[in-house]
Structure 1
């Protein structure tokens, strides 16, 4: 039996069904949903950056262990940790309906000073180990890049974090941060390719 035009209009599209399932999962299992989202988007960012800037040392092949390392970090560390940090932040400094700009700035300062430095340390240590480089190489990477990466993080991410923390509902903040990180990863990879070609 075929459906009438009115019945067809009432059926949700595949995208609407996926969004509905995602929102339901986000409501019922927020930590695992954010872990899956973060792991998937982080792995995708690494994969796309390898496509944009192929590794000449291995003939331009995708290093799947690196994709896995980024995805594992997103799933096990980034998604759950950032979720818990945002919960804690909202308890310590709850958003007020008539909040002044100063309150929003204080919330961002907490994120930038309390969350960003240890998060970057974890990233710079764990990802190289998961990629197979070992403890010594991870520590070396931290010593060589931590301060530069932290300063760049403060410069680039502060405005996005201001928007995220003060205007995005808590349940969507990890997703928003991952989406911005994906765009940022692709942007950096594109810049690296342009610099390599010039």
Structure 2
């Protein structure tokens, strides 16, 4: 039993060391790959838990591809650069209100357009077309944005104020796994 635990510990240590090495060498690519993997996993879990009647409850690989592509092309790189910009715009410090300002920028400046981009791009990548993408935005955006503000605000306060810059996208992706399951299920339900 302890040999297995040692093997698992060595595997995790190696995985963390490899991640940190890649994060130093290719931070944007590393965050893009991580974002794509977690977004795809979130969609897979969502399809398993909430199968769509529109696909006759069959697995829809194109949806998983759409989520992974969005994660790779948009989420990883965009969030990486946003956090760098945020640290320059509102440097962490002891000034009163700094933490609140940082989270307000995230919640009010990034979240709404990011969610619009997400809904539109994923629908296009799923092959649904622009008209359907716009209708999906009309049907789900406001509800999803309010839920985003409810779920993510406390988490993002901690993330943008206490997590080291190089790990913020990874931590966001870990919480985003649950969010992706929710948002994917919501999109399917409202379809």
TM-score by length of 2: 0.87
- Relative to structure 1, is the Cα distance of residues 56 and 73 closer, same or farther in structure 2, using a 3 angstrom cutoff? same
Cα distance in 2, alignment partners of residues 166 and 172 from structure 1: 12
In the alignment, which of 108, 117, 131 is matched to residue 122 of structure 1?
117
Cα distance in 2, alignment partners of residues 28 and 108 from structure 1: 28
Note the 1:8-19 alignment, pairs <5 A: 13-19=10-16
Check conservation: 2:63, 2:126, Cα contact below 8 A: yes
Cα distance in 2, alignment partners of residues 91 and 115 from structure 1: 15
How big is the alpha-carbon RMSD for the aligned residues of Structure 1 and Structure 2? 2.2
In the alignment, which of 33, 36, 39 is matched to residue 36 of structure 1?
33
Deviation (angstroms), 1:187: 6.0
Cα distance in 2, alignment partners of residues 84 and 168 from structure 1: 16
Q: Indicate the structure (1 or 2) with the bigger Cα radius of gyration.
A: 1
3-state secondary structure, aligned to 1:13: helix
1:22 matched residue in structure 2:
19
Deviation (angstroms), 1:188: 7.0
Q: For this pair of structures, how many residues does the alignment match?
A: 181
- Relative to structure 1, is the Cα distance of residues 186 and 141 closer, same or farther in structure 2, using a 3 angstrom cutoff? closer
Stretches of structure 1 lacking an aligned partner (at least 5 in a row)? 1-8, 192-198
